[in-house]
Structures are given as structure tokens and as C-alpha cells.
Structure 1
């Protein structure tokens, strides 16, 4: 134990000295982090190097939480024991919806992070952890909830079109993550959403214009860095033109090489120029680069040939989750991690059957299938990132400070201010908006229990007599008739939709939920009452609601999005959001509303 402590202290001391002394003269071209990483590498065993390649999930809210799921997945009881067993390079946090239930409140998250870092510090080589999560902003992919600040999602930021707003949004997220010990965010999404039927990206993308996406993504990288978190651009080489969700299947992107250069690659090129720390792979087939049909995550022509050699990217490459359908459908647990690593990935995220995956990579190195040189290259990249983020010196956080930083008043104010610039007034044919001052009876209906309640409360606060009648995403004919009857006793109807334009890929027809929402809006409009439709997720709904005369796009349903919507309804905020995507006509005959469309009051 004494020897281990002495070695650990000596190594950290050497690393600190290497990083603290600025290079001069002939050595000025040597990156101190690279030199320190290579020095540290010399002391690591093969098993420790392989451990650094893996990013694992752990179950529990504290490092010593006993969970049957940890035993099921890893054969040990607690998160700290998972770190002790595998010595992984990283951990990814999830909320209770996925299962691990790592994130509840700022003090708890900070304490968990410290506990995991302490477990890593007890190792023979005390390499700190990259602690990651998916906090993209918006209402689709996020892990931290209130009191954490809810910033707008990507498409909302695209509607605002402001790099200043995008940078500040990412800075707030990064600041709050760093305060609780999460030092890497799996964001921003750099996909260009050119397919309205995309089931997995949609509002997670900035929009359809590569130049706009590039500007916003670059600003977000800067913002995350300013906040103290490493940034991860995803999903390379682009997931914006797929009709299959890679969580459940393997999509194919049919872009030609020319289309790839024009559409998908510009945001990643810009992210690289902006110094993005990490790029995440996509489980998508791209035959224009790799005719074999291998998903990008397992494709050497895509990860090494395109990303490393052509785009000259030398940062960290991480896989998307290897337990997703896009990976597991073709590659067994002992094959997926080896093939992904051979393709060019450095870190392997959520490999199913960890013992199998770890031993498969270890065996591949021992057999020569993976060279020691190739392994060392990846481990150096992982160590470099940890050194550049100062994790060897600042691996712990202050839980008291975390409570003060997360959800700070200025953060909340900035979130609302930025969100107010995103709401887009798409159609106002009847001139219903802005609503005049004065009391009226308002029926709030449509999708979302929390959404409709929050919307109703905001209207009530403004002196309206509100009735809330939530219908879900797939209202039955009986429920439609019931709520339409209620509309007769109200002056105005506000109805929220959620993907009312979604299409069944197999049939080319609207999904059951979309068809029901479309029928509901038609029935409400037929009452003759003023009907205000709010598309609360993808803005494409209006293409399938031809009778709706008043339509707004919010790109999300956070509390801030709902508040912004109501402010726009009453003219407290003049809508300034512009569509970051083209809205196609339902019959495929062209554009209903072009990219950049957006109405304002008084113009």
C-alpha cells in the first residue's frame, strides 16, 4: 500500500510539473498534455489500458449504493466496486427513466461524482474518470431536471439563429454539469435534419441548413468549454436523413459523397476547427464511404479513413451506445467492441455484457488482432483529454457550491430570455394573434398532462377563465367529441400537438397518433371558434393541419417554452423565431413554408 501511494503521488507530481512548465525553444512544439499522457502510459498495465477504453453505467445515487443491477451487470454490488473491478475510463449518468437513477438533486449528484472519483483515486494508477451524461437542452434528451436549468433544445436555438444565445445556453448547461462533477457532455448534436420523417433526431438538430448548424454547433462547443465541460459532437458522419431509429434498428443514409460533403460534414468540420474534445459515432450505414454496409461505428473507412485521415481529427472518438439496436442487431457482445475499436473508436460506450466485452478486447490485444501501438494511441487520447480538462488536479467538486450553481437565478433568467427568442409564429391567417387584453373563456386541450396544465396556469395568471381537457397523443373518437362539445362554451381554444405529422415508414401514411390529432384539430376548427394550434415538438405538424388558421412552433415543451408561447399569444413578446427547416406539404408537392419563414406583429 505504501508503494502504491508513493507511486501515485510521484506520478501526479510529475504530471503537474510537466503541465506547469511551458515548453520553450526546440520543444515548444511538444504538447505538454501529450508528453504527460505518454509518460503516464509507461506505468500502466495492459489491463489498466483496456479499462480506460470503456464507459460504463452504474446503478445508484451514491458510490456505496448496493444494487442488484450492479450485481447483474458486473458481478459486484456498488458503483465504487464497478470502478475498482474494471478501472474504466468513464462513467455515464442516467436518470430513473433508463434505470441507473444517478441524478436526483445537485448535492446528491456531486457526492456521487466525488465518490466515484475517490474510487478511481484508490487505484494503482489514480487516473480520474470522465463522467458524462446527455444534457442536450430541450425536452427530448436530458438527464438533469429541476432545479437544473432547462435551456432550449437545438432546433429552438436554430429558430433563434443567434450564436450568442447558443453559446450562453451551452455555457449554462456546462457550468451546472461541471458543478456536480459531470465533466463531459454528450452534446452538441451536429446532425443536419433534412428528413422531416426522422424519428430519432428531429428537434435535437439545429435544422436543415448546414451553415446554420455549423454556426450554432461551433458556438455550443465554445459555450461548453466556457462552462467547464468537455463537448461531444454527435452523431458522425450524420444522422439527419434517416427514417429508422438507431436505438431499435440500423438506418441507412443514402447520401452520395457529394451530398455528404455539402450537408453532413460541415458541422463536424466546424466543430473540429472549434476544438471539440470528442466526436461520437452513429450506428448508420453509409455506403458512399463504406460499401460493405458496416455501421459507421464499426467502419474503418468512415472513422479512420474519413474522420481521422481526411478531416484530420485527432481528438477522442467515442461510440454511440453499443447496447442500441443499431449495434446489437449485427454484432454479438464479444465482437462489437473489438470491431468498433479496430474501426478507429477510442472509447466504447455501454458495451453489453461488460465481462465479455472487456475480455474480448484484452484477448484481441494479446493475440495481435489489435496492436499495442493502436491501443496506446487511444489511451493517450483519453489521458490527454483528462489532462487538458485538469481532472488530475481538480477531480472533486464542492457539493455546497453545486447547490448554489445549479438553477442559479441568472441561469433561469437567461433560459427564459433565450427561449423567448425561439417561438415561431408560422400562420396567423385569421388575425387572431396577438390576443387582446381582457378576460375570456379559454379551452386548453391536446397533448401533454403537464404541458396543458402549465399552459392553463400561465393563461389563468393573465386573467383568463381556463378549462383544461388533456387528450393525449391519440384521442379516441369519443374523447374528440367530448372535448369538441366543450369548445362551444369557450371563446378561444388553444390546442397542443406533438408530432401530428409523423408518418409510418412502412405504409407512408400518418401514424395512428398523428391521424387522431389531425382529426381532433379539424373537429375543433369546424366549431367556428378561434383555434390556436401550438406544435410542441417537431414544427412539421402544420403541413398536416390545413384547416388550422393559427399555428405556432415551440420546438419543445419545457416550462420556459410554454411561458414563451403564452407571452407571444398576448403580444408580451413579439415573435422573432424563424423556421430552421422547410415545412413540406403533406402531399409532397413542395414547400408549404420555406426555411426562414416567421411572422411578427406589426409588420
Structure 2
């Protein structure tokens, strides 16, 4: 009689053994680490492959089947030996000590990496963690590789920091408008994630940001033009999946027109069916046409599609009726985090996973209490609320995705693979070249820019000190000053923060007196923001003042008297360096607004339209 363990392929078994002895697992398995041949999610799998996955499903216990539906967080830099503080957090939140125990107890199908969970310290550590997770999966009575994922959108959302290559985020790429740049950035990012053992990226963001007050999407979107966003989404899907990892378009059916953050509340989208078809649908249709492996749901209410006002994650009319049946998508559907308030507020932590599966979801991402969620799904199956044939169909989609991404033949990586790919000079130089095409010059009255026109070259850099994603550098004032200094300016940084006090404003004014110009990094300026007072005080000196919006490009609408204004769309180093080069005149700004900037004093009136952008 064959053991259930025989379902693990010979190559993966060899790799697991090599990992246990410290050898290079991919070499031991005779496999190549790098891009893998892929087939689109909507393409029919080979009959032999589907039959193999169905046999695997038939050997699973009920607990294993349910476990495969979950993608879970876990604290620690190691699969078996995390720091004591991480062990304590795991025991408190999950009831296990480490990733290996999580896999053994719950048979989870995937693990998601976060910086705050201490999963992503540096590339070699990430690779070792990934190998440890796959080794734990291979050691189970029924070995199944895990799908390791993360949110590496770039720009303001990046879980893996330097020395990995960091690219401009979505709205910055939208400002450049180049599908080739988007595809290249995604391909390189995918290759680096693959080398670290990560086989799924929860990117690209397919939301169309038509609401300037959107607190959760904003610059994570490629822009406000649905067709332009669709082109960029399709390009990134091809880039990521061409690099061998699963892409994930989010957040279906579209999170772009809301003024509520679904992390802390339940947003409503009041688009009609016709408006949704015109505004929200095109990027998701483009992703599906491009063969995307997975789509993430949104915790948003769309009354036009579901009168029950259930969030889309729990809505069968939206996930099955629209995504599956109308759009014809047959790949994997994953929830946004089940720990977010938008999905918890109406039904609670036990019902939400069950209702999500009934709605059409395949993977349940990061429930706040895994024991509660796992038990609830098992109970729903035992009582007949959920059916085993439906669960088997979900498992088949998940396992076929894992197979497409090479996890059944080559789930491991090596330090050598990391060193060949991650953060290499060619990738870093490509990121800088792409960033050079993103900076947008919104205003340049009187030829204030470039600052190379100054008689002297002493520049004061003031403004926000927003903390960038882990490992991406910063703060903005320092990065800008250092870059300007390297370009021949005498640049001094003075961080005044998001809410500068009068004392800091006075310090900035005093510092500007013996300098030739000021560069001010602004961040989401509102009508009552003290950042406005800082800029007014600097303008009153009579010295040239250059304003750089380091997140949303709408700041200029709140700033009277500014003659020179740019947008970098993020405060991460790669975009700030590009902005500094444009300010210095070493690189012409060529970015074009991918969203409109509306006037603050006359609502509904456009100040700068989509496509606006000056150059020198």
C-alpha cells in the first residue's frame, strides 16, 4: 500500500532532503531557480495534471482540506526558531510557537509575509524562512507545498525593502504611462521575489482612483482613467507571471471611489451598474484577459449589485454572479485580510469565512483568530451549509495555481539564487531610469525650476518625515538633501513634520535667510494643515520655494502662492532621488498627471486635468 506521502514529486522530495542537510535544494533537485513556464489561469490544465491534483485532494482529511483554504500570517524570521518575542506573539494570536507548528497543526495552504511580523529582515533570511516553511510542508503526513505571498506593490506598500530593488509605485508608473516600464518593473520585482521563495504577489492594484479623498487607495492606483489603468494592470500581470510568480489583481469589484478605509470601516460604493461597467470593470477584465492567477476581493458594499448590502467579499451576486459568471473568471479568488473591520463588522469572525466560501472565495486570508475560522468552516461542512464537492473545486483551483508556479517540482531556493538576482546593479539602475520618467512638474511660474539656474547653490530642504515602508530609506528631507548634495548643491535638511509647530516654522525661516531656495516636501495637505503655514512663511522671505508632493498629487490645490510644484507620488528613495534630479535640472520631468487635480476653492472645477505635466 502506498503512503500518502508519495504524492510529493521526486524532485521536491530530493529538494526537501537537501534542505534538511544544508545543501543547495534547487541544485539537489536538479531544478533551475528562475522563471518557469507558465499557463494562464483561464487556460485548461493538462488532463494528467488535473488528475494528479484530484488524486491529491482525495487523499486529504477534512482538516487538511479546510487548512488548505487558509493563508495565514506568522511572526518570526525563521520557520522553527524565531525570537522569543515572536514566539510569544504566535502563541497569543495563533496558539503555536512558529511557522512549522502552524503548518503541522492547521495544514494551512499559504503564508503571507509582513515586515511588522518580522518576516522580511533581508533577502537571505527571507529565502531561509521560505525554505523552512516548504520543508515543514514537505514533512507533513500528506506533503503539500505552501504558496508564500506578500504585498509588494512598490511605492508606499512594500513589505520587502532594500537591498531588494524598489520601484516606483502604481500612480508614479501611471504618470510615466509606459506599459513597457510597468511590465519591466513587475518582471524584475517578480524575479527577485521568486529568488526569495515568494511565489505570489498581491499586486497589481486594479482600482481606478476617481475619488481624491480616498484614504486607502490613492497612489496605490495607476490613476483615474479606466482604460489607462487597464493597460498598466495587464502589463504588470504579464511581468509578474512571466517571472514565475502569481499576480493578484485587487480589490474586486473596485475600491477606487470611497472615502472610507475598509481597514477601519465598511465603505459603500454607490456606482450604478453602468458606472461600474465603465469605471471599475476595465482593469479587472484586462487582468483576466492577461491570464491572471488570482483576484482579491474588497470589503466594500455595492448596493447596485447586492441589495443585502453585504460586503463584496461575502456577496455571492458579486463574486459568483459577476466575477465568475459574467466575467468568466475561473482562477483563484482570495479575500482581502479577514482581520479588517470592513468584513468583521456585520457578521463576526466565525461567520465571515463561511459566508466568503459560499460567495465564491477560494482562499481565506489572515483571519484574526485561525482556530475560530478553521472550526467554523469545518462545522459548516459537517452541518451541510458548505458542500465537500464545492470545497474540492476550490482546492483544485488552489493546487493548480501552485503547480503552475512550480511548487510541486521546485519549492525551494538558495542563497546563490538570491545573490544572482536580488538588488543587483542592473536592476537598481533600471529602477532609477524608470523613476526618472515618473516625476511630474505641475507648475513652474517664472522659471523657478530647475534650480541649476540659481546664481548660488545653497538649498534648504524642509517638510515631512513620513516613515517609508520598511527598508526603503528616508526620511524624505534627508534623501532629497543628500541627492541634491551629490549633484553639486550645498543642501541642508530640516525635518518639520506633518504638523510643523511655530517654533519649527521659525527655524525654517531663519535657516532660509542665508540660502538661495527652499524645497518643501508636503504630504496630503488639507485646508487646515500647518504645512500651509510653513509654506506661507517661507514664501514671505521672497526666496524661491519649490513644493514637492510626496504622496497624493493634490496638495498644490491647497497652496496659494506656490510658483513651482512637482509630484513624486511616494516618499520612497527611488522616487525622491528622481524628483531631486528633476529639481536640480539633471533630468527633465516628463511625467503626466494620471488623475485630475481639482480646485479647492471651487469644488468640481479642474485645476490640472489628467495628462497635465510641464517640462523644462
Structure 1 equivalent of residue 149 of structure 2: 132
Structure 2 equivalent of residue 252 of structure 1: 268
Structure 2 equivalent of residue 70 of structure 1: 90
Q: Is the 8 A contact 1:439 1:465 kept in 2?
A: no
How far apart, in 2, do the equivalents of 1:466 and 1:244 lie? 39
The answer to whether 1:593 aligns with 2:608 is: yes
Structure 1 equivalent of residue 509 of structure 2: 484
How far apart, in 2, do the equivalents of 1:463 and 1:198 lie? 39
How far apart, in 1, do the equivalents of 2:48 and 2:484 lie? 57
Structure 1 equivalent of residue 3 of structure 2: 3
Q: Is the 8 A contact 2:599 2:605 kept in 1?
A: yes
**Cα deviation code 1:372-415 (max 9, x no counterpart):** 11111111110110111111001011122213311011110000
Aligned partner of residue 436 in structure 1, secondary structure: helix
Where do 1:3-22 residues align within 5 Å?
A: 3-6=3-6, 8=8
How far apart, in 2, do the equivalents of 1:29 and 1:519 lie? 61
TM-score by length of 1: 0.92
CA distance change for structure 1 residues 429 and 89 in 2, over 3 Å: closer, same or farther? same
The answer to whether 1:277 aligns with 2:293 is: yes
Q: Is the 8 A contact 2:12 2:410 kept in 1?
A: no
Aligned-residue offset at 1:485:
2.8
The answer to whether 1:90 aligns with 2:120 is: no
Aligned-residue offset at 1:47:
1.4
Judge which range, 115-124 or 419-428, deviates more: 115-124
The answer to whether 1:297 aligns with 2:313 is: yes
Where do 1:385-534 residues align within 5 Å?
A: 385-436=401-452, 439-448=456-465, 450-501=475-526, 510=527, 515-534=529-548
The answer to whether 1:545 aligns with 2:545 is: no
CA distance change for structure 1 residues 105 and 195 in 2, over 3 Å: closer, same or farther? same
Q: Is the 8 A contact 1:333 1:356 kept in 2?
A: yes
Judge which range, 172-181 or 451-460, deviates more: 451-460
Aligned-residue offset at 1:266:
0.5
Aligned-residue offset at 1:291:
1.3
Aligned partner of residue 230 in structure 1, secondary structure: coil
Structure 1 equivalent of residue 226 of structure 2: 210
The answer to whether 1:376 aligns with 2:392 is: yes
**Cα deviation code 1:190-219 (max 9, x no counterpart):** 000000000000000000000110000000
How far apart, in 1, do the equivalents of 2:77 and 2:297 lie? 29
Q: Is the 8 A contact 1:33 1:388 kept in 2?
A: no
Aligned partner of residue 500 in structure 1, secondary structure: coil
TM-score by length of 2: 0.90
Where do 1:60-209 residues align within 5 Å?
A: 60-66=76-82, 67-96=87-116, 100-138=117-155, 140-209=156-225
Structure 2 equivalent of residue 579 of structure 1: 593
Structure 1 equivalent of residue 25 of structure 2: none
How far apart, in 2, do the equivalents of 1:523 and 1:10 lie? 70
How far apart, in 2, do the equivalents of 1:29 and 1:246 lie? 36
**Cα deviation code 1:400-453 (max 9, x no counterpart):** 221331101111000000000000011001211122366422111011261101
**Cα deviation code 1:308-351 (max 9, x no counterpart):** 11111000000000001111222222111111111111000011
Q: Is the 8 A contact 2:549 2:569 kept in 1?
A: yes
Aligned-residue offset at 1:475:
0.7
Aligned-residue offset at 1:589:
4.3
Structure 2 equivalent of residue 23 of structure 1: none
How far apart, in 2, do the equivalents of 1:6 and 1:190 lie? 40
Q: In the comparison of the two structures, how many residue pairs are matched?
A: 574
Aligned-residue offset at 1:8:
4.4
**Cα deviation code 1:282-314 (max 9, x no counterpart):** 000000001111000111111111111111100
Aligned-residue offset at 1:35:
3.0
Aligned-residue offset at 1:7:
5.6
Greater relative CO, 1 or 2 (CA 8 Å, sep 6+): 2
Aligned partner of residue 197 in structure 2, secondary structure: coil
Structure 1 equivalent of residue 470 of structure 2: none
Structure 2 equivalent of residue 557 of structure 1: 571
Structure 1 equivalent of residue 40 of structure 2: none
Structure 1 equivalent of residue 584 of structure 2: 570
How far apart, in 1, do the equivalents of 2:422 and 2:62 lie? 39
Aligned-residue offset at 1:5:
4.1
Aligned-residue offset at 1:12:
8.2
How far apart, in 1, do the equivalents of 2:114 and 2:340 lie? 15
Aligned-residue offset at 1:478:
2.8
How far apart, in 2, do the equivalents of 1:350 and 1:253 lie? 24
Judge which range, 109-118 or 468-477, deviates more: 468-477
Judge which range, 555-564 or 291-300, deviates more: 555-564
**Cα deviation code 1:570-591 (max 9, x no counterpart):** 2221111000000000021400
Q: Is the 8 A contact 1:446 1:497 kept in 2?
A: yes
Aligned partner of residue 157 in structure 2, secondary structure: coil
**Cα deviation code 1:500-531 (max 9, x no counterpart):** 14xxxxxxxx4x5xx11122112211221100
Aligned-residue offset at 1:101:
0.5
Q: Which residue of 256, 265, 268 corresponds with 1:240?
A: 256
Question: Unaligned stretches of 5+ in structure 2?
Answer: 14-28, 30-43, 466-473
